[in-house]
Every structure is written in C-alpha cells, then in structure tokens.
Chain A
Amino acid sequence: MTSPATFYDVFRQQGISRRSFNKFCSLTAASLGLSPAFASEIAHAMETKRRTPVIWLNGLECTCCSESFIRSGHPLVSDVVLSMLSLDYSHVLMAAAGHQAEAALEETRREHAGEYILAVEGNPPLNEDGMFCIVGGRPFIEQLQEMAAGAKAVVAWGSCASNGCVQAAKPNPTQATPIHKVIKDKPIIKVPGCPPIAEVMTGVLTYMLTFDRIPPLDRLGRPKMFYGQRIHDKCYRRPHFDAGQFAEAWDDENSRKGYCLYKMGCRGPTTYNACSTVRWNDGVSFPIQSGHGCIGCSEENFWDNGPFYERLASVHTPLGVESNADKIGVATVGVIGAGIVAHAAASALQRARNPDNAAKTGAGE
C-alpha cells in the first residue's frame, strides 16, 4: 500500500470535497485560537506538506492519554490519525502486533531519522535497570532512548511523561522518572494532565504539523496556549470565590447553588490547564462544572499534595504523624504559649524569692 504524499492527497482520496477541506481548515484555525487568516495558511500547509511520521511509545502508564486522544472532536481524531500523521507505531491503535510491529518501529527509526515526532505516553522506571516496565522484551528505557535519538521533537503525553504522576509519588519504589530527566538533547513539549484534554493533544500535534515548529512553551515546557492560565483564572464559579461564597459540604445548600469549591479542596487556583475553557467531551463539561473540585492532575506532585478534598496538603512530619500546616502551626503555638506562661511564672517566682538579686541588679551589683 503506497501512502499518499500530502495531507490534501489523503483528503481527496477519502472523497472529501474541496469545500469540506476548507471548512476543516477554518475549524482547526478556530480551535487553535488563530485568526481567520490562518485558515488559508493551514490549507496551504496541508496541500504541500508530507505527512509526518509519529511514533507513539507507551511506558509506565494507564493508557488514559490514548483513551482521551481517540475522543478528540476538533479536529476529529480519525482525521488526525488517518490523514494528518502517519502513525507508524502505537500499541493502542496499530493493527500490527509482535515482531511485525517492532519491525515497523525499526523501519521508521532508520528511514525517517531526524524527521519523526516521538510521542511518549508514560515514563520509564529506572530502578532495577528499568525492569519494572518491559516493552518488546526489553526495558522501556532502552526503547525510549533509542527512539529519542532520531526524533525531531518529543511530545510528553500526560502527567506520567511530563512530571511522573502517580507512579512517581512518594516513595516511588520503581523510580519512575519523567522523560525530560532522561532525554536531554531534544526539544520536549510537555502536555500534562491525567489524561490531557483530547483537543489539547490533537491541537498540539496540529500546531506542530501546520507550522513545522514546536508551539511557544512556558517555563516548564508546556504549550502556553493551553497551559498559560490556571483553571481558576477562567473558572465560571470564580465570582463566588471573590464574593466569599463557598460550598462547605458536598451536599449542602451552597453546593447546590453552585458556589466555589475552594473550601472542598479544589486545586483550580494552582493548576495550569485548559479545562475551564476547552472543557471535556467536546466541550460538554469539566470537573468543577459537574460539582467536583479540580484535583490538579496536570500539576507536578499532585498526588503528594493530597488529600484532594482538603484545602491544605498533608505535611509529613519527622515524627511520622500526618498533619497539615495549620494543625502543626496551632500545636506549636500551643506548646510555645504554654512554655511562655511557665517561663513567665518561673521568672516571677525567682524574682519574688530573690528580691535582693533584683535590687542588686538595680543597684549595679
């Protein structure tokens, strides 16, 4: 089977009219937040560019990123997978299996060296020489490094690849390590989230294919267009936050009124993601809209910053007692306060017992 040369060829081959093609370009431009003028630029790119090979590796993960990805509505994931990219290797979506699949991987690595995009879902566990994650009979870390060497750019799908996620939570027995700590010489685009929003995933890929460059990234390497603001900044419940109206329990009156979930531990104020703007399932809803606080899944250490339903994180004290900053603070203030009272009493007692001492001090010894 010869693969069509350009994206436009693919579209035409599938019986898509010129008119539908232009509509797709406009929609893509709109979903990327670009001005209408970019629609023609996208169309031009589609007509002239060859499909970029993408290798999708799966390490230590739960496949929620793949599950999210295949639900993309704008652009439709079928467009992305069948037309925009040449997805040469993906555990979830490829038809091939076993040696055949590994052969396809090897072929891309050799024939498209320096051209393919490496998309990584999950991360490599480094403990015990990487034996906690075996892919194709070898530790995943080997496959990852081998494929990263010839990649044009690396996309870190999800919180696993971007910052470790749950398997890297304390005490991290397998030493699961985010990929930017093992791949140092390639540009890495982090798309955190557990999973990331489908449209964010396809949006990032579309941007890279269209403009042939990586999107503008923030300090942590996340695309600014999707991770430039906190969920809190665009949350529709924000007015209740500013007013001082909070749900106090999951089933109270305030909760039914749709008040802010801050007191219930919502991590919206500390989480950079597009949930409150792009939303999920083709824009239907997002956690806060369905009455559940954000758990901050796209943030580093989100699993260690629990419990999810409390405002303050657990602080692990050296004594091994789990507590939070306020409990420790109040206890310390109590102890110090008691100490001050005792010390003041002892001081007064000493002064009363040795009045001559005080007098001596007063008189200059």
Chain B
Amino acid sequence: MASTSESSKKSQGLLHSLVSHATEVESPATKVYVYETPVRLWHWVNALCIVLLCVTGYLIAAPPPSVPGEASFSFLFGNIRLIHFAAGEVLALALLYRVIWAFIGNSHAHQIFLPPVWSIKWWGEVWHEVRWYLFLVKVPKKYVGHNPLAQLAMFGIFVLPLFVSVFTGLALNAEGEGIESLWYQAFGWVFALLGDSFTVHTIHHISMWVIIVFSMIHIYVAVREDIMSRQSLVSTMISGWRYFKDDKE
C-alpha cells in the first residue's frame, strides 16, 4: 500500500510509534515525506559552502606558493579570502534560515538541533545503533528521520562546530572591517568570550577539521545505510521522500 502525502500526514502519530517500536510495528507506509524543500535546499547549499570554505580556509592558513611578478598585478590571496568570506556569509545566512525553519518546519526539522539527551530510552537506541555499526546487531531498526546515533553525531560534531565556525568566522571578519564597524559591534563579544584574535583563529581552524571529519563519516554512512539498512538515505535528501525497502507493496 503505497502512501501518498496525505496519508503521510495522517500517519504522523503512527510514525512516532514507528520510531519507538521500529522492529515490532509493521509500517503501513512504504514512503514518507521527511525532508521538506527548505531543509534539502539548506543541505546542498551547506555542502557547497563547506567544500568552498574548507578549501579556501585551508589555503588561508597554508598559502599556496608565491606568485611571481609585481604585487600590483596579482590579487590571488585576496581572491582566496574573498571567496572564503563570501561563502562564509552565505553559510551563516543559511544557518540562520535553517534555525528559523526548525521552528516552523515539520517534526524532523528540529531533530538535529535538539537531541533528547535527557531520555534514557533514547540513549538505549543510540547504543543499539552503535551495536549495529559494530556488526553486533543483524537487523537494523527503521527510522523516519535520523536514527538516534546519527542525531547525536549531527548535533555534536556538526551543528555545534558549525555554530562555532560561524560565530568565530563572523568575529574574525569583523576584525577586518575594523573595531568601529557594525560587524565588530555585533560580533566583538566573541573575543571577550574566547580570548585574543589568534586563539579565535585557532578555534576556527580546529572547527574546520571537526567538520571535515564529520563530512567523511556522514558521506560514508549515508551511502552504506542506503545499501545496508531498511530505508533510503541519499535519494531522500534529493527528493525528500523516505522509502522503506522491506515494506510489502
């Protein structure tokens, strides 16, 4: 019984029970609309920005070999920084838009911002997922949104470092604009919180590596789960629909 978007809306309550008793409950739905357009758009804009930011950011800390000739004929390093700042501002605005969407979107939209760390049952499911990845569990559970381990990883090594990157980045950008600028008035507090400019640079740099490590795991697990688990992943972030492979037609 293939579901339609209206049946997916109807089964919201059912989906929650599906999340909690994934192995017991026979799902009536074979596909569910999970990621709304703004979430998907954010995901891919983010992905593009992160690639641009990591490449240019790495080059800013470790500049490419010197260009020959007169300084006035080249603006290579300036352009690398320009791309970094522009992509950073897009990333920051996209994050703002995503945070707003977390309030107005569907129930999955705020999942990565609020892992229920107070719930013992949720930690039990995290543990179940850990065992699944350690090959200790043969059959995975089904999840409409992120599985609990994914949710924890998204929050801990993606959302948090992303916020750190964005705020330290905006503060460093404010320094370039000058201490009298509006930028500095808006983000100068970061220096009061974290210390001198150089320390803020170091924190910004470390957060890049955390996001790179996250991205590697994220891409691997998404592809692996797409093949090994019971639900679709990669196509879900393109179309928004989650398919459950083992549900009978």
Contacts and interface: CB of A to CB of B under 8 A. Distances in A.
Interface of A: 218-220, 224, 228-230, 233, 239-246, 248, 254, 259, 262-263, 267, 269-272, 296, 299-302, 305, 311-313, 315, 325-326, 328-329, 332-333, 336-337, 340, 343-344, 346-347, 350-351, 354, 357-358, 360-365
Contact of B201 (A259, A270, A362): A270
Given A242-B78, A361-B246, 14 more contacts: A229-B178, A244-B63, A244-B66, A244-B74, A244-B76, A245-B67, A254-B66, A305-B202, A315-B202, A325-B206, A326-B58, A326-B209, A354-B138, A362-B245
Contact of B192 (A219, A241, A326): A219
Q: How large is the interface on B (under 10, 10 to 19, 20 to 34, 35 or more residues)?
A: 35 or more
B192 to A, nearest CB: 7
B33 to A, nearest CB: 21
Interface stretch (B13-21, B38-46, B212-220): B212-220
Contacts of B67: 243-245
A245 B135 contact: no
Nearest to A364: B246
B179 interface: yes
B135 A332 contact: no
Contact of A333 (B72, B78, B138, B216): B216
A272 B202 CA distance: 17
Contact of A243 (B75, B205, B209, B245): B75
B68 to A, nearest CB: 8
A337 B202 CA distance: 23
Given A347-B224, A361-B246, A243 B78 contact: yes
A85 to B, nearest CB: 29
16 contacts: A299-B198, A301-B198, A305-B199, A313-B198, A325-B202, A325-B206, A329-B213, A333-B213, A333-B216, A337-B216, A343-B224, A347-B224, A357-B139, A358-B228, A360-B139, A361-B139
Interface string B217-232: 1001000100110100
A229 B180 CA distance: 10
Contacts of A351: 227-228
Interface of B: 58, 61-67, 71-78, 80, 133, 135, 138-139, 175, 178-180, 188, 191-192, 195-199, 201-202, 205-206, 208-209, 212-213, 216-217, 220, 224, 227-228, 230, 245-248
Contacts of B197: 230, 269-272, 299
Contacts of B65: 248
Contacts of B76: 243-244
Given A329-B208, A347-B228, A246 B66 contact: yes
A361 B248 CA distance: 11
B71 to A, nearest CB: 4
Contacts of A357: 138-139
B217 A241 contact: no
Contacts of A350: 135
